[in-house]
Structure 1
Amino acid sequence: MSKETLFALSLFPYLAFLWFLTRSGKTPKLALIGFYMLLIFVAVTIPAGIYAKVAYGDQLANIDWLHGGAEFFLTLSNILVVLGFRQAIIDKTQSSNSKSV
C-alpha cells in the first residue's frame, strides 16, 4: 500500500474521532477547534505537496518555505489543543478549590 493511499485512508478514522469528540460535549472548545484545525493542515499540505512536485520537481519536505508554511498549521493546531486542555485543567482546579473552601 502506498503512503498516499494510507494517508487518504487515515482520514476516515480521524473524522470518526472528531465526530465522537464533538458529540461527547466534554472536550474543551479551544481544544476541539485545535483538533479541527488539523484538517486545515491536511487541506494545505496536499496542494503544497503537489505544487512542490510540479514547480520544483521535489517533495514538499525539501522545499523549506512551502514546508514551513504548511507546518505552521500543524503547530497552530497543537497550540490550540494544549491551550484548550490547559484552560480546562485551570477551570477544574479553580472549581474544586472553591468547593473545598
Structure 2
Amino acid sequence: MLDKNALFALSLFPYLGFLWFLTRTKGTPKMALFGFYALLIFVAVTIPAGAYAQFVRNEELANIDWLHGSAEAFLTLSNIFVVLGFRQAVVQRQRQAVVSDEDPEPSPSAPLPRGEGS
C-alpha cells in the first residue's frame, strides 16, 4: 500500500494532465486558470515544509501550526483565484444576456425572420 507522501507525489501527474487539457480549452476564464496553476505553488511549498517538519522537527506537518498554516495559505489563495475567475465569467455572461435581450432591433447583418422583407 502506498503511503500518503507517495500518493501525494503521484497525484501530481493527473493534475498536470488536467492543467494541460484546461489550458487547451479556450473557454476557461484566465483568472480561474491562474488559480489552478497557483495550486502548484501550494504543492511546491508543502513538499519542503513537510520534509522540514519530518526530518528537522520529527513531527507531522499538520502538528506544526505556523508551518502548516503558511503552506495552506497558498491553497487558500489558489482557491480564491479559481472562484473569482469563474464568478467573473458568470457575471460577464449574465451581462451579455441582458444586453442581447435589450437590443430590440436586429443588426444589419442579422438575417430577417421568415415572412419579413422581400
Partner of 2:83: 82
When normalised by structure 1's length, the TM-score is 0.97
Partner of 1:73: 74
Q: CA deviation at 1:2?
A: 1.6
Structure number with higher relative contact order (C-alpha < 8 Å, ≥ 6 residues apart)? 1
Between the two proteins, the alignment pairs up a number of residues equal to 101
Distance 2:71 2:94 in 1: 36
Aligned: 1:52 with 2:62:
no
User: Residue type matched to 1:43 in 2?
Assistant: A
Structure 1: unaligned runs, 5 residues or longer: none
Distance 2:87 2:73 in 1: 21
Q: CA deviation at 1:8?
A: 1.4
Q: CA deviation at 1:71?
A: 0.2
Structure 2: unaligned runs, 5 residues or longer: 103-118
Q: CA deviation at 1:63?
A: 0.2
Between the two proteins, what is the percent identity of the paired residues?
65
Distance 1:47 1:82 in 2: 27
Question: What's the secondary structure of 1:56's corresponding residue?
Answer: coil
Q: CA deviation at 1:55?
A: 2.3
RMSD: 0.7
Distance 1:58 1:5 in 2: 18
Which segments of structure 1 move beyond 4 Å, counting only runs of 4 or more? Answer: none
> Highest CA radius of gyration, 1 or 2?
2
Partner of 2:62: 61
